[in-house]
Structure 1
């Protein structure tokens, strides 16, 4: 184990950043929480709740305008619905399933948490800002203006000292100091790029950025912040999810209805799973036991439950319009870095 660079962040395994995400290794904080799937329907202004045991909808709850993602808090005790156009965050108590009163937050397209748990990090896409806030009250701590359009997804370095974020509408990557809240670097990708989800390899050596327009993964190093290559995966590469054994990463190819299974050891796509019929796989997460990949169907008002053994479709569940940042909860891990569930 290795000590983190910032005070308050738990120590980590430099050989495997996801060492605490093993099947069913739930934190005592969440061990008794009911296992549920939370689906924000961006065009319906609702969250649909699914029982993963029966693959049935339990209920659908109205929230603020254009909910984009359902995000676990750093301390694992709260889920936050990002009501982007509604300028609010709706809290959910995952122990009871109760939806609380919305908290006013401007332009919360996406939400992360610093590895020390001291700040919530709001990706204010339209405002062109990354806003650091109190992780409980959401009061503003500091605002960082960014030199790009559509800042949306991110991941953190192994030691927590910085994070790398993508800017969808300007084809840009940013490197930001976690504690100083300052910009450390900018990479401009090729013209027409639309970078989406960001994920670091288990050993921390490589960063992967899904690009919806160039149809694959950009690779880069974090410390010196340099591009190292590009790996084709499929049309509309979008979401990135690490398997419970840290061997693979599931890449959703939204434009062609497939999931690419990326092998970290070979740095290549091992296989590709096709979802039957018309499909638009977007965002989601892996079940606690690692056996099911849950993904929203962004343009088809449905959710897909996919077997991680062989990629076959287990269930196709109708939900609201524009399902987006689906959250599987609870999941293994000691703390949450945000998004739909980035745990360490």
Structure 2
């Protein structure tokens, strides 16, 4: 009714003199901007934060920056990933041996898939044919076929100790998996589900990030203070460089510009921005409370990071290089995701 009344008054004013009409035009412009802002707020996709020790997902409103509600999951949800069609966010419940599918727009639970053994970390292949999980406590990697709706186990691959994070190359041919407690990186051929190679890394390798050309992998060394760089363009991998970032180097997230990637340093309480062409740190940001997983809001200005030890979602302004707000969530927040993300 308010908008209808405003529209009616603006229509009646059109025959009046310019001196009266000018303020009304200004009012109309302000009203239009206000309605546009309200529409944008209504359409803003929620932010999902996994509370690993609460077996829940916090749903956060990116406009008010308030926790709206919590969704129940299986035990120990650690990581989450979007389906290729972006119709579902999949939460991997490691101790619950299950996956929880959530609508990324409405934040409603769509379904629960049980019988997925120890899904700690998860990733889809770019061609949408394969779904890979790292069994962190059971020392295996599971490779599933994906038909757009259902998962079918193709193979269970025995690996080293404590598979941690998964990266799949752009051609959807190889899954790279870090072994947290045996200090290794392994490559698995997706078509045959066989190990291609195994290489030693620095202490406690965690997240993995591959360059767009498929030639280089970056591995965060949580037991150290930086990133180990591997050349994987040949038949055998080669460790070619170390990039010093900060103690507890852990998780990556692309900045959205196809040139830079962020890395959380869990012990140092910082985020490093790495130039993928120069393979060096070009910026650093404060991130209190044990920074872990990240996401980047579309546009690249805001960086979301879970503060693992302080039960917070921390929001960093990447231009001002400072923390601009924190949102209280559950115990041991780990994965974070939003549909309104920067380009992957």
Structure 2 residue 127 is matched with structure 1 residue 116: yes
1:126 aligned partner? 137
- Structure 1 segments of 4+ aligned residues over 4 angstroms from their partners: none
Structure 2 residue 248 is matched with structure 1 residue 236: yes
Structure 1: which 5+ residue stretches go unaligned? Answer: 1-31, 334-342
Q: State the alpha-carbon separation in 1 of the partners of residues 107 and 145 from structure 2.
A: 23
8 Å Cα contact 1:284-1:328 kept in structure 2? no
Change in Cα spacing, 1:291 to 1:162, as seen in structure 2 (3 Å) is: same
Post-superposition offset of 1:321: 0.2
Q: State the alpha-carbon separation in 1 of the partners of residues 124 and 43 from structure 2.
A: 21
CA offsets, 1:145-203, max 9 Å, x none? Answer: 21x0111212222323212211111111001112221110001124xx10111001234
Q: State the alpha-carbon separation in 2 of the partners of residues 184 and 326 from structure 1.
A: 31
1:48 aligned partner? 58
Q: 1:194 aligns with which of 181, 198, 204?
A: 204
Post-superposition offset of 1:332: 5.2
Q: How does 1:65-214 map to 2 (within 5 A)?
A: 65-104=75-114, 105-135=116-146, 136-146=149-159, 148-190=160-202, 193-214=203-224
SS in 1 for 2:273: strand
TM-score by length of 1: 0.82
Change in Cα spacing, 1:124 to 1:203, as seen in structure 2 (3 Å) is: same
2:328 aligned partner? 318
More helix by share: 2
Question: Relative contact order: is structure 1 or structure 2 higher (C-alpha 8 Å, sep ≥ 6)?
Answer: 1
CA offsets, 1:187-228, max 9 Å, x none? Answer: 1124xx101110012343321000011110000112221111
SS in 1 for 2:334: coil
CA offsets, 1:78-132, max 9 Å, x none? Answer: 1111111111111102232211342111101011112221121111112211111
8 Å Cα contact 2:139-2:161 kept in structure 1? yes
Post-superposition offset of 1:42: 0.4
Q: State the alpha-carbon separation in 2 of the partners of residues 273 and 34 from structure 1.
A: 26
Q: State the alpha-carbon separation in 2 of the partners of residues 60 and 243 from structure 1.
A: 28
8 Å Cα contact 1:262-1:270 kept in structure 2? yes
8 Å Cα contact 1:298-1:323 kept in structure 2? yes
8 Å Cα contact 1:114-1:178 kept in structure 2? no
8 Å Cα contact 1:33-1:330 kept in structure 2? no
Q: State the alpha-carbon separation in 1 of the partners of residues 105 and 246 from structure 2.
A: 38
2:268 aligned partner? 256
SS in 1 for 2:335: coil
Structure 2: which 5+ residue stretches go unaligned? Answer: 1-41
CA offsets, 1:37-61, max 9 Å, x none? Answer: 1011001111001111222111111
1:222 aligned partner? 232
Post-superposition offset of 1:242: 1.6
Q: State the alpha-carbon separation in 1 of the partners of residues 152 and 170 from structure 2.
A: 27
8 Å Cα contact 1:157-1:222 kept in structure 2? no
SS in 2 for 1:316: strand
Post-superposition offset of 1:285: 1.0
1:37 aligned partner? 47
User: Which segment drifts farther, 90-99 or 128-137?
Assistant: 128-137
Aligned pairs, number: 298
